[in-house]
Amino acid sequence: MTELQQSLHTLGRLVGCTPLLALDVRFRGEARRIYAKAENFNFTGSIKDRMALHILRKAHDTGLLKPGAPIAEATSGNTGISFAALGRALGHPVTIFMPDWMSQERKDLIRSFGARIRLVSAAEGGFLGSIRLSEAWARETPGAFLPCQFANEANVEAHATTTGPEILAQLASVGLKPGAFVAGVGTGGTVMGVGSFLKGVDPGIRVHPVEPSNSPTLHTGHKVGKHRIQGISDEFIPAIVKLDQLDDILSVDDGDAILMAQKLADRGLGVGISSGANFLAALQAQDRLGSDAVVVTVFSDSNKKYLSTDLMREEPAKAGFLSPEVELVGIGQAI
């Protein structure tokens, strides 16, 4: 085994195979159970490690990425952390292009792994500007590899071959089958990959993409407003997202997502803001199917990357919020 193969093997042991949590809540006074994959258990603490490892492994296998060649990616944060850590572990120089308004923790973490960051201001085009600049960089840099997470089908494949089958097997181990899967859409890799896998098993399984109600990119096709759920609803609908293959879009207010993540933390489950949104969307999906339906979602990352954000501040509850009606019964069961 070469050193590179050894490193890929080691990383393979450190990414995926995350616990599936069975969380019992009372929602509007009714007993409910929601299943959530604890993706904070991955190598760098987020679900994006699955996609990054799969893309890097495939690029090495096909010869698209040569040993020691430079890697660059445009990202809102977690992807940058994944490519920085995994890329460096495999011996590559890494450059990350990201909007300058992302949390300080994300920027510091990427730099700490020895990757370079190119911050892109709103005036330079923000998110779309980051993509344009990374593409220009790749054209000018010999041997450069650009994972292109928003357009790369290997992103979807990562979840269709790992996250989806893990969910099915974990539920089967306790005699259950999924009724619905919900996930917030950043690149859409999670919802498309898990969704296509589960619908391949049973087309009746509902698969709902989730977005912030105060920035409905999926509903409109473009950026419409500001929101605080970092990692989802960027500025456009990514090429890998095929809404016609999914069920309807569920919406969650960003303040409600923050309150829900805080409520989970109050039970010791320190998850990020998109996890709060996913949990509330899972309850909405269950409303449609019945309170006994097996609804699965993901906790994409932990609360540690949000220390400087509103997740750590008091958040006012507004009329219509779901989180005030959720009472966590306990830490639940890990499958």
Query: Would you please indicate which residues are annotated as catalytic (active-site) residues?
Result: 48, 274
Which tokens go with 325?
């009606």
Site size with ligand PMP, rule: CB under 6 A: 18
Candidates 32, 37, 48, 199: give the one binding ligand PMP (CB under 6 A). 48
The three-state (H, E, C) secondary structure of 52-93, written as one string: HHHHHHHHHHHCCCCCCCCEEEECCCHHHHHHHHHHHHCCCC
User: Angle at which helices 254-265 and 273-289 pack, to 10 degrees?
Assistant: 100
Instruction: For strands 20-27 and 326-328, give the pairing.
Output: antiparallel
Among residue numbers 175 through 194, which ones bind ligand PMP (CB under 6 A)?
184-190
Contact 193, 277 (CB under 8 A): no
Residue 130 engages ligand PMP in binding (rule: CB under 6 A):
no
At closest approach, how far in Å is the CB of 57 from ligand PMP?
Answer: 17
Within the chain, residue ranges assigned H as helices are 3-14, 48-62, 78-89, 104-112, 126-140, 153-158, 164-172, 189-201, 217-220, 254-265, 273-289
Which residues are within 8 A (CB) of 59 and not within 5 positions of it... i.e. 6 or more apart? 65, 145, 147
**Per CB under 6 A, does 300 bind ligand PMP?**
yes
Q: Shortest gap between Cβ of 34 and ligand PMP (angstroms)?
A: 17
Among residues 4 and 310, whose Cβ is nearest to ligand PMP?
Answer: 310
x-marked contacts with ligand PMP along 73-92 as a string, rule CB under 6 A:
---xxx--------------
Which is closer to ligand PMP, CB of 177 or CB of 219?
A: 219
Is 45 among the residues that bind ligand PMP (CB under 6 A)? no
Q: Which of 2, 27, 29, 109 is CA-nearest to residue 282? A: 27
Residue 78 C-beta: closest distance to ligand PMP, Å: 3
x-or-dash pattern for ligand PMP, window 3-42, by CB under 6 A? ----------------------------------------
Site residues (CB under 6 A) for ligand PMP?
46, 48, 76-78, 184-190, 231-232, 272, 274, 300-301
